[in-house]
Chains A and B, each alone.
Chain A
Amino acid sequence: ETGVTQTPRHLVMGMTNKKSLKCEQHLGHNAMYWYKQSAKKPLELMFVYNFKEQTENNSVPSRFSPECPNSSHLFLHLHTLQPEDSALYLCASSQEGPGGGNEKLFFGSGTQLSVL
């Protein structure tokens, strides 16, 4: 157990569906992240929230919409996705955000997303 829980573990959706991924951290961390992991490719940072404020949006298409209602919860809302969006979506948290010094990441097990 890493202290970061993601649901669901697996998700299959059509291109016209709307779904949400959920992440919860029980570590008292101040920063939370969404990453995309595709096979044999480096992790791609999507969004960063530091103290509930979005500090980074790495040119992610608008069909991905993050929400951070508090420092323990993070959502990724999905709509009108494309087949190339199929990947493992990882949530992570750290005590401090980028540049804060203590940025060891604690990851959830991810949501394996398939877009048909």
Chain B
Amino acid sequence: GQNIDQPTEMTATEGAIVQINCTYQTSGFNGLFWYQQHAGEAPTFLSYNVLDGLEEKGRFSSFLSRSKGYSYLLLKELQMKDSASYLCAVRDSNYQLIWGAGTKLIIKP
């Protein structure tokens, strides 16, 4: 079967750095997405990786290793507004999106 694994919950301190991991086992690979979802709000697109390496976008970076079936989302200079759930999704060989259950990130002052 196809599977996406991410930690259920993480806690970090304001101003610090946090890394949210995502591992996947899917039938083929055609890209990996990260979305952010604040409580009671719509998920919003953060990043897309299809090639190995690091994609940086301001305070957020996303890394992909296709050979290891692994990605991470790196958040720097954490702010209270970064408290949210972070969803990892992989597009398989049939272009179906396979979703993880999400990681709830709690930022403490």
Q: Is the CB of B76 closer than 8 A to any CB of chain A? A: no
Q: How many A-B residue pairs have CB under 8 A?
A: 48
Interface positions of A from 82 to 113, Cβ below 8 Å from B? 90, 98-99, 103-110
A98 to B89, CA, bound (A): 14
Q: Is the CB of B40 closer than 8 A to any CB of chain A? A: yes
Chain A residue, CB-CB nearest to B37: A107
- Our pick among B8, B45, B95, B99 for the contact of A43 (Cβ within 8 Å) is B99
A46 to B95, CA, bound (A): 15
Contact A42 B99 (CB under 8 A): yes
- B85–chain A nearest beta-carbon distance, Å: 10
- B38–chain A nearest beta-carbon distance, Å: 10
Chain B residue, CB-CB nearest to A5: B42
Interface positions of A from 28 to 61, Cβ below 8 Å from B? 40-43, 45
Which residues on A sit within 8 Å (CB–CB) of B48? 104
Q: Interface residue tally of chain B, by bracket?
A: 20 to 34
- B69–chain A nearest beta-carbon distance, Å: 16
Contact A104 B45 (CB under 8 A): yes
Which residues on A sit within 8 Å (CB–CB) of B4? 42
Contact B95 A109 (CB under 8 A): no
* Contact A41/B101 with A103-B91, A104-B45 known, Cβ cut-off 8 Å: yes
Contact B95 A99 (CB under 8 A): yes
9 smallest CB-CB distances across A and B, nearest first, come from A99-B95, A42-B99, A107-B42, A43-B99, A98-B95, A109-B42, A107-B43, A42-B101, A2-B42
Between A and B, 11 residue pairs with Cβ closer than 8 Å are A2-B42, A2-B44, A42-B4, A90-B43, A98-B96, A99-B95, A104-B33, A107-B35, A107-B44, A109-B40, A109-B42
Chain A residues in the interface with B (C-beta under 8 A): 2, 4, 40-43, 45, 90, 98-99, 103-110
- Given A104-B33, A106-B42, output 16 extra A-B contacts at Cβ < 8 Å: A2-B42, A40-B8, A40-B101, A40-B102, A42-B99, A43-B89, A43-B99, A45-B97, A98-B94, A98-B96, A103-B91, A104-B45, A105-B45, A107-B44, A109-B41, A109-B42
